[in-house]
A and B are shown apart, each in its own frame.
Chain A
Amino acid sequence: MSTAMAPVSKTHCDNVLRPGNTNCAGCGMSLGLHWLDEALSEERPFMVIPACCGIVTAGAFPTTAYGVPTAASTFASSPAVATGISQILRMNGEENPVICWAGDGGTYDIGIATLSAAAERNEDMIYVCYDNEIYGNTGGQRSSATPEGVRTSTSPRGKVEQKKDMMGIMAAHRIPYAATLSLAHRDDFLRKVRIARETKGFRFLLMLSPCPTGWKSEPAEGIDLIRTAVGCGLFPLYEVYEGLRYRINARPDGTPLESYISRQKRYTAAKVDPQLIRNFISEQWRYLDAMARAFPAD
């Protein structure tokens, strides 16, 4: 297909993800992949997707919803497979972005050693974690990204442990660029993917991804839930350069936490104490503010 290399116009940004994919209605991945595509503009990526909803998205052989060359890797291996691809492309003078697109299970849990190693070697790739805070593909089990209190099929009485600070872990690797992405903040999202695109070495992007199936929420409300998560301070928008220069992109705006949790049965069914979450939010911001003060980007 000779057209595959042709420039992509902004009116035709479905090249990475085509129509007819198997994402649930309201899945955050659908919009996330479109915006990723849009921000990459003319640059055509190679994708590596481990076991997760993101590879089921493709549908079954011989068809695929991915319009770019894509490797479906084993669950823990996407950064290792992407390393092999990236190294060989570069030695052949091919500068296409190599992108891992992985869930929180592949990122926070089973793949963390592989991810850490690729980050430590500063491999030339963009790693995007679409964090739906659950194992979606296997039907909704806890991960170490699942927030405290939330009910999943393997935390039926509510999760006892706190969510892991993956951004902190990745920043500690002193990688060139790490940032959080919000599906309710389009300009900020596109700007960050473009920075990632223009940066060399290991880049980490963390996108909170609404998952109506796992969150037990209304498909139509996903984007608004993300806006609420940012507004109440639960999902901070920030970026870290070289692991040592922090920039906060949006501060809590007084949005009540209740408007986030009351619309998701994963919270309401477990009767999560909002105070638990408020404590988590204030600790998170105390840490982030301290880092931004000590290591400002500007």
Chain B
Amino acid sequence: MGRELVTGNYAAGYTLALAGEANRSGRGCGAGAYPITPQTEIVEYLRGFEFTKGAVVPVESEHSAMGVCIGAALAGARSFTASSSNGLAYMTENVFAAGYYRLPIVMIAVNRTLGPPWNIWVDQGDSLALRDAAWLQFYTESHQELVDTILLAFRVGEDPRVLLPVMVAEDGFVTSHTQMIVDLPEQELVDRYLPPCRVPHQLTHARPTTVGGLTWPKETTHHRHEIQEAMERVPEVLAEAINEFEQVFGRRPHGALSAEYTDDAQTVLIACNTMTRTLRRVVEERRARGEKIGLIMQKMFRPFPRQELLRAVTQAQRVGVLDRNYSPGSGGIMWTEIAATLQHRPDILVQDYLVGLGGGDVTPQDISAIVDELQSRQTAGDPVWKEVAA
């Protein structure tokens, strides 16, 4: 394909299809497809793609879309789907099931505000609400990052050291419906990068098992602990997957975090998805004026990259978290995790900003005002509700 001007959803659908097609030498691929704005174009693309060995099933709900993925993966196939917002909420029971079954399904979460009241614009609260579902979670700031992370997702999730499903999030509309120039991979390279998917606990008559039956507390604890151990192996597996990605595709995607200008930064701002791009502009302008300021693009949220985060804030005195999500009665979900990690650094002031909720347009001026507020603080306080113009 080469370099193309495409929407985020096109890029995601295209990449999922190539990953599915790459498993034609294995047991093929299976997907459940159900529409919801702003994800719909992805499942439309998948339904239109002519797989050599694959089935995209037009189901009646997101709950069943994930059900079909679970069945396909239990039969040994590569499996994937996409959803957003209330679709993810409706799917939730089977999202947890996929994680607990240890099936390496890949799902694109196109972030959208949960309703009612109905609002189709971006807010990461939908996928963050699924953070405890035993899935890896990645957040992407650009179309290219999205494409590359989807390929990494299959590679890491299907790795026998991990064997967990992976969610790759993109911003609704800001990414899904805008166009950027993207290096779209060729099938041949994807074939090279993704070996045939193998699900070791695939249902088979050679070894009849009951997958997902009853367990006692002790076995359940072991099961959860094994998931934790798999999560702990992710950084190593991801690092390998990135190195090999570079060899095959000639580009190097970000890892768990992208820490930029943080070596000497006394003020560090953290964001995810496209807000990072606005934040980067503000940080670069301020650095040009001599400020010791840096940023962190939080790409991986599960497993939560504690070590990487601690390494990125060695010189920091103040950390501001930009949360486009809100857990009622608590605050920003990224902030609670970041603050828990930074308890090892009690010298750092960690402040949360709830900004751009419900898809509000966050401008460089908004972020600059947040930086000013952060720098004027003597102590951290409750999450700050930052209103934006629209």
The interface of chain A, by Cβ under 8 A from chain B, is 1-2, 4-5, 44, 46, 48, 55-56, 58-62, 64, 66-74, 76-77, 79-89, 91-92, 96, 113-114, 116-117, 121
A258 to B207, CA, bound (A): 48
Cβ-defined partner of B211 (8 Å) among A5, A71, A121: A71
10 additional contacts, CB 8 Å, given A69-B208, A70-B213, A117-B64? A5-B206, A58-B210, A76-B93, A81-B67, A83-B71, A84-B79, A88-B77, A114-B61, A117-B60, A121-B58
Chain A residues with CB under 8 Å of B60's CB are 113-114, 116-117
| Listed residue (B72, B204, B216) with the most chain A CB atoms within 10 angstroms of its CB | B72
A114-B214 contact in complex given A69-B204, A69-B209, C-beta closer than 8 Å: no
Q: Are A67 and B30 in contact (CB under 8 A)?
A: no
The interface of chain B, by Cβ under 8 A from chain A, is 27-28, 30, 32, 53-55, 57-61, 63-77, 79, 93-94, 97, 203-216, 219
Of all chain A residues, the one with the shortest Cβ separation from B207 is A1
What's the least CB distance linking B209 to chain A, in Å? Answer: 6
Q: Are B213 and A85 in contact (CB under 8 A)?
A: no
Q: Are B214 and A77 in contact (CB under 8 A)?
A: no
Of all chain B residues, the one with the shortest Cβ separation from A114 is B64
Q: Are B75 and A89 in contact (CB under 8 A)?
A: yes
What's the least CB distance linking B290 to chain A, in Å? Answer: 57
A81 to B212, CA, bound (A): 12
Q: Are B205 and A92 in contact (CB under 8 A)?
A: no
A1 to B209, CA, bound (A): 11
A84-B67 contact in complex given A61-B219, A114-B60, C-beta closer than 8 Å: yes
Q: Are A87 and B57 in contact (CB under 8 A)?
A: yes
Chain A residues with CB under 8 Å of B32's CB are 80, 84
A73-B205 contact in complex given A61-B213, A61-B219, A91-B53, C-beta closer than 8 Å: no
A72 to B76, CA, bound (A): 16
Chain A residues with CB under 8 Å of B54's CB are 91
Of all chain A residues, the one with the shortest Cβ separation from B67 is A80
Q: Are B27 and A87 in contact (CB under 8 A)?
A: no
Of all chain A residues, the one with the shortest Cβ separation from B78 is A88
Q: Are B205 and A72 in contact (CB under 8 A)?
A: no
Q: Are B75 and A84 in contact (CB under 8 A)?
A: yes
Of all chain B residues, the one with the shortest Cβ separation from A64 is B210
| Ranked 9 nearest A-B pairs via Cβ | A84-B71, A80-B67, A88-B75, A117-B60, A72-B212, A69-B203, A84-B72, A80-B64, A64-B210
A-B contact pairs, 10 of them (CB 8 A): A1-B206, A55-B210, A64-B213, A69-B204, A69-B205, A69-B208, A71-B210, A80-B71, A83-B59, A84-B72
Q: Are A46 and B203 in contact (CB under 8 A)?
A: yes
